Structure 1
Amino acid sequence: MSSTTTRVAGQGEGHVWSVAQHLEDILATVRPLEPIELQLLDAQGCVLVDDVTVPVSLPPFDNSSMDGYAVRAADVAEASATYPAALEVVGDVAAGAGEPPTVGPGRAARIMTGAPLPPGADAVVPVEWTDGGLGEGPVESMTAHSLAPGGAGGEVRVFKPAAEGAHVRRAGSDVRAGERALRAGAVLGAPQLALLAAIGTPAVRVRPRPRVVVLSTGSELRPPGTELGPGEIYDSNSFALTAAAREAGALAFRVGAVADDAETLRATIEDQLIRADLLVTSGGVSVGAYDVVKEALAHTTDAEEDGSGVEFRRLAMQPGKPQGFGSIGPDHTPLFALPGNPVSSYVSFELFVRPAIRTLMGVEDIHRPSARAVLRTKKPLGSPEGKRQFLRGRYDAARGEVTPVGGAGSHLVAALAKADALIVVPESTTELRPGAEVEVLLLG
């Protein structure tokens, strides 16, 4: 299934892309996935394609919101603890039961929560307001608080009045037949699926959750839980990016780290295309001697006639200067080649990959929310001229303040774990003083 269109042409190796230009190219390339019909539970997390109209009112009939007795309000209007109303019990009404008994003057029917209001009744008296048919005081003052079905016969005493409609859930009081239950574009979570099931909808047309494959590159990478050798580190990028893709709404799959071998990486990518709507790699996109991603995808860097191919770029941003983006394979699967430093790869994901995933899903709001905040810091913060810098921060919504966390280094994973926002420093700003107003991107 194709998810991309023809990409815009590159602007040469010497061109430095702005953040806005790079994102614009991505969003001009990626298109929402084609709709499919899914059963309700399979549609969880997906985006609804069509409006859903209510076929039957909810609830479909007047029913009781309490365990108690269905009565005529007029028969209990004068009921009190001193002068209770005595009513003949004509039967029981349970949820899903057959034909309910008719409640005439001076009569009542035992009723369970959710059971239909029987003919003749216009109110429900909670069992706690009665003697439960035991001929004693109110149930609420007794040890037993249950309502045991007993069939027709006997008498119940009611100690409080109930107005017409009391403890009755009217038909259509939730939604009425013909109304719109959900709008196209709604993301289907548990409450939305509950509504669809409640109105009898077994399946819906949705855009599927994108399948995102994440892999790291680097011969020095080892999985957590193994022993490190000289010069080796644990692979954190693939875990961070896979988790971030899932948070964005994707079905994400992590592939074990691939060694610095172009043929191995090329084969791995080709193998993963069968289950990917989008591919993400980290590492190997700079100008070093072992930039394996650039080497493995060298045959795609010159765009094909159909616009496919991966282009490696320099961006005017910090962190995350080296980036690769394009599409590969017969289905033009989007591929993001992110830098290898942990902070660089995560920030790049939030700025570029997350909007692409959300676009594939078909949601309207593809970007993280932003806010204006007052910078809380003891000393001025510097920023390189001509680059848009993204600093980690802790955002205090109540105070409208943001505090930087850690330094500007792109390797500071511990600082990243403490941050819940990115502080955006524009290209033209070289210094931020304490108390300055800044833009923040809210993470999570």
Structure 2
Amino acid sequence: MAGRTRLGRRGLLTFALFFASCLASGSTTAQVPLLMWSSNSLPVEPPPTAGHITSIEELALYLTSAFGSGSHTVLLFLQDKLSKDDFTMFGGVFGNKQESNFKNLEAVMQSSSSVTLPALEWAGPSAVTSLLQEKLGASPLLVDAETRSHPSLATSANNLLLINLPYCSNSPKSCKEVLNHNDKIIGKFVGFLKARDVPYTAIYTGLQPSRVISETSVSKEQVGRSLLQTAAPDVKPPIVFLNASQSPCIMLWAQNLSVSLSRTSTWIDLNAETPDLTGSMCNGDNSLLVLTYSSGYKLSFAMSRQFYPVSARYWFTLDSVQLQVNGTTGSFIGRGGVYAPAEYSFHCQSVKSFPNALLIPNATTEETAQWRLNFTDFQIQGFGLAKGTNFSYASDCAGFFTPGIWMGLLTSLLMLLIFVYGLHMIMQLNTMDRFDDPKGPSISVPQSE
């Protein structure tokens, strides 16, 4: 629910409605704004959170506290259509302060105890009327907007006066002119009650929304920036093997798990299927992840953990990868480059079995000698997963000294050597002890034979 706000300056209502329209429009729920003000004090409620849509039930609770005791005269201004955008898109309504066409509404909201509901759930044309009729226990009295003709008011009982206002969609007049005319009607009715010193509460809302914005809720959209305003592709979750106690034991993720059975055959991406993990196992020192695919392929990753005294810590290594197809098995041995601390995961952009390979083919048969593996954006962890289902800190296969860094270092070293040599040569220069005097005898240098 929105709290009571007193507008300290003209146009604050504009800002409130515009700000709320920006934050609360992320839903497909039809909404209408509701403005409420009273010559008496309205109950104070905390302001709504950003994006909150006030339900009819919340409005009912607030009206119960607002009309708790005593008699009340309520003016219900029902416009044929009304949305938040009607207060912002027409510059002369609330946009341009010098040419405001809603001076009466701004004035009464500023001088009265007021409540602003920028996004009220629309539950039908008669929802607000029925709710007020229920809370007040009085039938609505239809009042002519132009003549203000209505039965005499008995201030000792509750009164519900219903004033219907037009909208510009079915009018030859411009929207500014229609809304400006409605504002004048609101000002006349308020002035009529003030002149007779009748306490009142007024509500301005719509029979239905003038605009329904169909947008997906922000909470259901992916938040963040994406390249060229395109949605990021769906990311499959990692493969997780659970041990006997249903705790995560082995995790693997790769963008592609591609295999090829010959140098001329096409690559087959096994990552497009969901594998069966039957045959996988793990303990404190060894882990085996077996991925069986419905297409007939089977991948097995064997890992081991070992303590190294030099580093005084445990490390795990990917010892071998086996590929089985139609009863034939090809083995690939880890060259030693697939390793990480036991409490870390291993990540590499490319793990493959051909040139610059981290997996060395162990060709046991001529048939498997042509088999190739290529794992893209590969990450695996076989130990230290008992505390969660996320990968631990990744130890990457990329070395610190890349070829570009080595070229830069060598070039800088060569330039430094040239600079030091030139500086050394300059420092070794000496001046002559004697110089020729053009006015005196020339210096003769005897020559020995």
Query: For this structure pair, what is the TM-score category when the shorter chain's length is used for normalisation?
Result: under 0.3
TM score, norm. by length of structure 2: 0.27
| Bigger Cα Rg | 2
Q: Looking at both structures, which has the greater relative contact order when contacts are Cα pairs under 8 Å and sequence separation is at least 6?
A: 1
TM score, norm. by length of structure 1: 0.27
